[in-house]
Amino acid sequence: VRPHAPALTAHRLQARYNGFTALDDVTLTVPPGHVTAIIGPNGAGKSTLFHCLAGTHRPAQGQVLLGARDITRLPAHARTRLGIARTFQQLAVFPSLTVAENVRVGAEQGRLQDPSAVERALRLLSLDGPVRSLPAAALPTGTLRRVELARALAGSPRVLLLDEPAAGLDTAEVTALARILKALAADGTALLVVEHDLDLVADLADTVHVMNAGRIVASGPPDRVLDAARSQENTA
């Protein structure tokens, strides 16, 4: 076992929409047991990178590796089976299913079809009370973000891709989220998080990559990278 071997690797990814280059030569590794964060302005290519990693956008060039395995050509559902779970910037729960049913879908589509993982995920996200039987349609954003995360976790993923998990959450919810994500990393999950909340990134991340115009323009530990990003934001 090589404990620091990357769980997920993006190697020289380029992505295009028609003629437009949304990702240009992006290389990064996502190690197990770490939180890797991606920050950058709207349009930088953060969500496109997630789509390439999750298999919902085919890169024009470059490779995606899960461990040592080249998964560049695998469709999204096959990557989910291999242990890459994700949440979406635009929430994507099934509105007519209950909370528990949504989470069960995650287990059915995930790496292990383990019913006890459903209960564990519901408990971890405080969704094991009466809310478990409510249809997702009626729930507030903070609860839906927890449902999405529980659904991702129910598949026992090795890699977790979270696109703006704190968007729409209040302070208490962000604090609870940070605690959960740290526990997942401590358990060995590889986390890649796109997040606008720089305080949360500073609290969580082991490594931060700054994206701009489709490229990674800075990388390093948060205390080095975030000061530069904050002062850039203030002068913008």
Residues that bind Mg ion (CB under 5 A): 46-47, 89
**3-class state of residue 106 by DSSP:** helix
Q: Are 11 and 27 in contact (CB under 8 A)?
A: yes
CB of 211 to Mg ion, least distance (A): 10
Give whichever of 47 and 87 is closer to ligand ADP, judged by the CB atom. 47
Q: List, in sequence order, the alpha helices (H) in 125-170.
A: 141-154
Q: Which CB atom, from 46 or from 209, has the smaller least distance to Mg ion?
A: 46
Which does residue 9 touch among ligand ADP, Mg ion, none (CB within 5 to 8 A, set by kind)?
none
- CA-based torsion, 44, 177, 207, 30: positive or negative: negative
Question: 61: burial class by Cβ within 10 Å (0-12, 13-18, 19+)?
Answer: middle
For 201, other C-beta atoms within 10 Å of its C-beta total 22
Phi, psi angle pair for 51, to nearest 5°:
-60, -40
Closest residue to Mg ion in the complex (CB)? 47
Q: How far apart are CA 55 and CA 76, in angstroms?
A: 4
Q: How far is the CB of 62 from ligand ADP (least distance, A)?
A: 15
Q: Shortest approach of Mg ion to residue 197 CB, angstroms? A: 14
> Phi and psi at residue 129, in whole multiples of 5°?
-85, -160
- The Cα 150–Cα 123 span in angstroms is 9
Binding mask 21-60 for ligand ADP (x = CB under 6 A): -x-----------------x-xxxxxxx------------
Minimum Å gap between C-beta 109 and Mg ion is 23
Nearer to Mg ion, 72 or 89 (CB): 89
Q: Which of 181, 155, 143, 170 is nearest to 82 (CA)?
A: 155
> Looking at beta carbons only, is 46 or 57 nearer to Mg ion?
46
**42 contact choice in Mg ion, ligand ADP, none (CB below 5 to 8 Å, kind-dependent):** ligand ADP
Q: How far is the CB of 32 from ligand ADP (least distance, A)?
A: 25
Question: Shortest approach of ligand ADP to residue 49 CB, angstroms?
Answer: 7
Determine if 87 is a binding residue for ligand ADP (CB under 6 A): no
Binding-site ranges for ligand ADP (CB under 6 A): 17, 20, 22, 40, 42-48
